[in-house]
Structure 1
Amino acid sequence: MKESIVKVLEELEAQSSLEKSRKVNIPPEDRMLTITKETGELLNMILRLKKAKNMLEVGTSVGYSTIWCAEAIAEQSGNIISIEQNPSKIRRAKANFQKAEVNDSIFIKTGNAMNILKELSRQEKYKNFFDFVLIDADKESIIEYFDLILPMVSLQGVIVTDNMLYPEKYREEMKKFSNYLKANPDLITITSEIGNGEEITIKLK
C-alpha cells in the first residue's frame, strides 16, 4: 500500500477514535461516522478477489471507506462513483483523496442519495454495471436504496451494507432489512460481525 494512502488512513483513524471517545466536540452533522479499520480491510479484500472495476458507494462521508476501496480498485484501473449530500464532508473527502493520491479514480455525485440513485437507475448504461456496492447511508431508506441499486449490479456482484449491528438503535431496522434480502431467491446474503456489522450480499441472477 502506498505511503500516501497509509498516512491518510491513519490520520482518519485517529480522528475517528477521538470522536467516538467524545474527546473532541464535533457537531453531529460533521461527525465522520466511518466504517472500522477491519471493515476497510474486508472491503479491500473483496474488491481484490472480485477484480472489481466499477463501484458505487452510497455515503462518502470524509472518504475513509472510499480510500480503502480506491486502493484495491486501482489494480483493475477501476472507478468509484460515490454519493454524498453534506458539502463540508465533500470538501474534506476531496482533500483526503488528494493527499492519498487516489482522486483520479473517484467521482463524487453531490446531492440527495435517493434522487441520485433514481437518476442513475434510469440510465441504460448503469444496468448490470457495478461489480461492487457499499451502502453506508441513512438507515430509514435502506430497503428503497437497495431496490434501486440491485438492477444496476452485475451478476455475481457484491453489495456490502454497513451498521447491521451497531449503533444498536438501528439494529431492529437492519434486521428487517436482512430478512428482506433473505426472502429474495435471487440473492445470497450473510450478516458478518466484522466492524459495526456488515451485510454481505451476492446477486445470483
Structure 2
Amino acid sequence: MSMDANFKNYMQQLYVAFTAHDAAQDHRLARYRNIEPDSALFLAIQIRLKQAKQILEIGTSTGYSTLWLADAAKATQGHVDTIEIDDSRIIQAKQHAQHLQLINYIHFYQGDALIFLQNLKQSYDLILLDAERDAYVQYWQYLSQIMHKQGGVLIVDNVLSHANDVADFIKMVEQDNRFVSTTLNIGAGLFMVTFRD
C-alpha cells in the first residue's frame, strides 16, 4: 500500500472518529469542529498548485486540517505554522502528525490567536482561518498584513454553514479595495481572498 493510500485511509478513519465525537457533544465548544474532507482536499491542492511553502493555520483543533496542510507542505518542501488555544487538542494533533511522519513539517503554537497574529513578523503563501468566528473582524488588519503580496491567499472555512457569524467579516474584506474575494460552495463554504494587484 502506498503512503498516499495510507494517508487517505488514516484521514478517513480520523474524520469518522472526530465527527462521532462531535455528534455526542451537547456544547459547541466541546466539539472538535474539524474541516470537511472536500475542503481539506481543496486546500491541499491549492498548496500544491501554488507551490506554497509558508502556510499558516489559525485553529488547529485536533489536527485534521493540519495534517492535510502538512502532507501538501511535504510535497512543496514547505512547513505549516498552526495556532490553537486548547493544549489538549494540540497533544492529539501532534500524535497524529507523528503517526503519519509529518511532525517535522509542522510548528505547533499554543495560545490566543489574536496575540499570535499581533506578534508575527513573517508573511504566508496560504492562510487557513478556522477558529472562533466572533474574532475574525479583529484578525483582519493582521491577516491582511501577513498575506504574501505575490499571490498570497486567505481561505476562511464555514462561511455558508455559519453565514450570519461571518457576515461582518466578509463585508469588511469585500470593502477593502486592495483585495478580491469569492465564496466557494465546497464543504461548509470557503471564502477565498487574495490581493487585487
TM over 0.5: yes
* TM-superposition CA deviations, 1:41-78 (whole Å, max 9, x none): 11011111111000111000011101111111112210
Question: In the alignment, which of 166, 174, 177 is matched to residue 185 of structure 1?
Answer: 177
Residue in 2 that maps onto 1:173: 165
Question: Within 2, Cα distance between the matches of 1:45 and 1:111?
Answer: 28
Kindly state the Cα deviation for residue 202 of structure 1 after the two structures are TM-superposed: 0.9
Aligned residue for 2:21, secondary structure, equals: helix
Output the CA distance in 2 between the equivalents of 1:107 and 1:29.
24
Aligned to 2:83: 83
Q: What letter is aligned with 1:16?
A: F
Question: 150, 154, 163: which one pairs with 2:148?
Answer: 154
Distance (whole Å) between structure 2 residues aligned to residue 142 and residue 28 of structure 1: 18
**Partner residue, 2:109:** 109
SS in 2 for 1:130: coil
The one-letter code matched in structure 1 to 2:171 is: N
What corresponds to 2:14 in structure 1? 12
1:197 paired to 2:185: no
Aligned residues: 194
Identity %: 26
- Matching residue of 2:132: 138
Q: CA deviation at 1:8?
A: 2.7
Equivalences for residues 5-44 of structure 1 within 5 A = 5-20=7-22, 22=23, 24-25=24-25, 28-44=28-44
Structure 2, unaligned stretches of length 5 or more? none
Contact 2:137–2:168 at 8 Å: present in 1 too? no
Q: CA deviation at 1:181?
A: 1.1
Cα deviation, residue 173, structure 1? 2.9
Q: Mean Cα displacement is larger for which, 68-77 or 1-10? A: 1-10
Q: TM-score, normalised by structure 1?
A: 0.88
- RMSD of the TM alignment (CA)? 1.7
Number of the residue aligned with 1:65: 65
Consecutive unaligned residues of structure 1, counting only runs of 5 or more, are: none
Provide the secondary structure at the position in 1 that maps to 2:191: strand
Question: Counterpart of 1:2 in 2: which secondary structure?
Answer: helix
